[in-house]
Amino acid sequence: MTTLYTNKIPIDKRLVYDDQKIKYHYISFFESNINNIIDWKIFDPMLKGKTKKPYRFDEKTWKILNFTKWKIDELDDNKSIKSIIAMNW
């Protein structure tokens, strides 16, 4: 069984660019204002070497995904993460 989680951060705030390349993806299932999030947890999707686009999760979102199998479900037009599917244990 799986659960679909939607990224609450507005589309125009989800990506941080460096030299016109995506530097970070911001993802939160609970908070729409990135200024209200004090601590961002970083996840490197490559898990080895340096990635060019690590994901940054708020604390609550990180607690859901940290020990769960998950995958990106849908991307928006600007390639930001719109939703994630996570397995229920």
DSSP state of 20: T
Contact 69, 87 (CB under 8 A): yes
Q: Which residue has the tokens 């993806």?
A: 25
Q: Which residue has the tokens 């979102």?
A: 61
Strand pairing of 81-87 and 2-6? antiparallel
Global model pTM greater than 0.75: yes
* Rounded average pLDDT per 10-residue block, the chain, 89 residues: 94 88 89 93 63 80 86 88 88
Residue 12 sits at φ, ψ, to 5 deg, of -75, -10
Q: Which of 20, 11, 24 is nearest to 78 (CA)?
A: 11
